[in-house]
Structure 1
Amino acid sequence: MNSLTLTMPRLGETMDEGVIVGWMVAPGEAFKRGQPILELETDKTVVEFPALGDGMLEETFASPGDRIEVGKPIARAKVFSEADWADENAAPAEATVAEEATPVSILRMPKLGETMDEGVISSWLVLEGAAYGRGDAILEVETDKTVAEVPALYEGRLLRILAQPGEKLPVGAPIAEVEGRVEEVAGKAAVETAQAPASAPAGPRPAASSDRPRATPVARRLARQNGIALDQITGTGRRGRIERADVERLSGVGAPAAGDLHWLQTPAGRVAYTVAGTGGRVHLLVHGFAGDSSAWAQLSAAIARAGHTAVALDLPGHGATEVEGRDLVALADAVTRLAETLPAGATLVGHSLGAASAVAAASRLGSRIARLVLLTPAGCGPRIGADFVHGMAQADSSGEVAHLLRLLGPKGGALSDAALRQMAGEMARGRLKDLATQLATPDGRQRIDILRPLAQLNLRVSAVFGTDDRIVAATDALNLPLNVAAHFLPAGHMPQWDAPRELADFILNGGQHG
């Protein structure tokens, strides 16, 4: 056996670095070709990386949580054949053989763990006729323990899909015909079912039989560490899969670290904001009273996955922003100044008090804003939930915060203890006391009116109300001027929490739904 240094693999053309989620083989343990040896997270996915040949892990150079550049050493192993691990572009002899006669092979249900006997095809990530490279994720499989994206061990082309999403099949059962080599999978059903999928007529796709919430391994681990039940989380991933950002939104661990924040210098001080995505249309997201940019975690992720850009700021008096926010003027000024740095034609999305701030900013920005979306907006009716507004402004304990958050809707009580303590510490600073008095009287009368400025706006405006909102009444929609289209979702005061997929679809598709 030869000693070989293993490096961070490139699992896609755009991958520059990866995070070690965990080693699945310990130093001193042997592994077989195709056996998952470590779990990696990239900017796009979480994947179990398989051994490209038989061997034994000698030593690991990277620990869980380490972010490593592609090509940098991560471990040393004893291997039987270094050629198995060589870059495919550095093997001209093998490539020549492949060019002369590319085999057609049967791809079988992989074995993703020692105890796995069967799996459910969650989805195909490569279309029929499409080529894929070594390491590219080609399908997603759900077992009784996890959901994993399965990478190709060789480059090839997907010729024909034999197993459709939702089908539960034993390990070794045929799932596709491919052009190129595949790893042989041992399974008692391999021979018995070899012909059945190929000859079976196409029909309705059966539903997956497992009621277990679908979640990535990282999301499951974070939920377990923070004591959050997966059935409390609305997944924003493919087919409703729960992803890391979904858990972070509830656990509080997703609040941006200092290095992840961007800063806008204004005459009043620095305003903090985050950016998700890099292309397409720009969406400026403005949170509500007592929130911050992390309230948009799920929506920001959905916008970025759709190929667009989400910019979420911390309003004055909130989060990491250094500017104090004692009135609506200060909030609107921050929104305006940040919007002026973005490309013209952005969509402005405001929630609750942030909606009022967005209306005031839109009045100043004119044609720089293409569309305005208001979520459960404050300032459209005579009353607002004063218990929440003044309660949050005065709160100084995690217990108070927990009870107040339940007023926001069904997901309001799902924050972890750590997140509640963090929020209580922020509220105890007293930054929101002046703003609370500007927003509502102690008995719940609103002191903000956005109906007049809304009627004067010359742009496309939509407003979304939650039918179960306990802070802003859904009947406030009856007061909107004629130039504002009203829409309703079965949600509380936080539709971005309660109905994230529906809301993302509404925003990204231009609000075409009634």
Structure 2
Amino acid sequence: MSAAILTMPRLGETMEEGRIVGWLIAEGDAFKRGDPILEIETDKTVAELPALTDGVLAEKLVAPGDMIVVGAPIARLKGEDGASPAPVASGRVTRTLAMPRLGETMDEGRIVGWMVQPGAAFKRGDGLFEIETDKTVAEFPALMDGTLIETLVELGSMVPVGAPLARVEIAAADAGMEGFLPDAAAAVSPAPPATPPAPSAPTPAPVTSASVASGHDAPVPVSLDPAAPRRATPIARRLAARAGIDLASLRGTGRRGRIEARDVEAALAGGAVAAPGAIAFDRHGTPGAARRALLLHGFAGDRTTFAAFATQLGRAGYDVLVPDLPGHGATALEATSAADLSAPLPGFLAAQRFAPTEIVAHSLGAVAAVALAETLPGVQRLTLLCPAGLELAIDGDFIAGMAARPSPGALRHLLRRLTARPAGLSDAAVAGLAATLGAGRLTALADDAFGPGGQQVDIVEPLTRLSRRMSVRLVIGLEDRIIPWTQVAVAPSRVAIHLIAGAGHMPHWDQPGEVLALFEGDPA
């Protein structure tokens, strides 16, 4: 037995890293060429990685949830090169390739595109075609060298698992591999081509939720027929859905007409469509600066809670964007769950042409920040001020009081719990906040995020993942009366912790100089 190292493959031209979703075999298990070994999530899709040779999984070098760069080791394999080879046939034969099963629940798949044209040769590992299932879009690799003789289905066809897809010429030694139809079955049940579209319309290139790029760039017809499915990356689909954009109205600039995030952003920036519900925001500093910070307030707050801090960051050389989160302040969108806080933010950022290099969030805003940071490229650092989501304990009376339409007097009592020193809010400011809370917009959000048992949101596992690819730090007030500061004990080991003496739940209010000093030394 010889040992080999399996490395993180590149599943597309833009892929630089991938997340290990799960192992499909255990250590010590043998596998055959073509067997799925593990699931990998990229920025565009989730796909099963098939084995390109027979072997044994000797040792897993990474765990589910790990973010691994392309080319890094992920497993140690053992091959069967020491065994006596069985006699094999020589020469080349023609075989019928069947629709593969890419997951346990897959019964059929749609052919998105052919990566190899009839008559072209391919090598083991080359992408042959793209398949769209109910869960993902993946490029299926060749498990041996060969030549594509003919395709048996049309683009856009929905094909059952095991049905004929194409005729290929391969080495006779590879003819016994799984994935081919028996000669008799292929002869008796040839794959009928899909019913062609009406003569007046060209065959559309089906658009899917993702598309893994390959080295082949054969042109595929692109249709803007609103009834046709549109090819789009998952990020583009999410941006479009959150901004209320119909994908059929966009022309994709990606490979084979695929709609990219930049196409949705261009539509938003150009005013072609309007997001359903404005997000109120303030902008500070110099637009276009190299350091771009997105500031997210906490439960029952709004963008004014960051007013002084945002101004100071702007003076320190940052481009700063501070929105009112859904359900808060002057933003029209509502939030009935913690997930609603982050849902419209990608579309909002695209509309503002703002790509944050850093996200700073306070309290419940940390939940939105973590969710956003996991989907946005380009974020280099995450700074969380007294974040929610680390453990159960929280001041339930404060949460209930803020959600219960408090009077100005009751609100002043509640606000005193936020800080270690008097906040100095004017009567007019308190009355204004009481009027805003009087609308009752926070009731459903409070029920979702904070229940009778305490916090119902959890950011620990996402922080573990994020800390592997960006700088993450927690800034905690030692006199916090809303969330006990001791909850930092559950923070992942890679996360930096800054404990601020003389600060309560609002460290950027109580000790603004110490908090700002964490940012002022950054290179411009």
TM-score (norm 1): 0.46
- Pick the structure with more helix per residue: 1
Q: Could you state the TM-score of these two structures normalised by the residue count of structure 2?
A: 0.45
The structure that has the greater radius of gyration is: 2
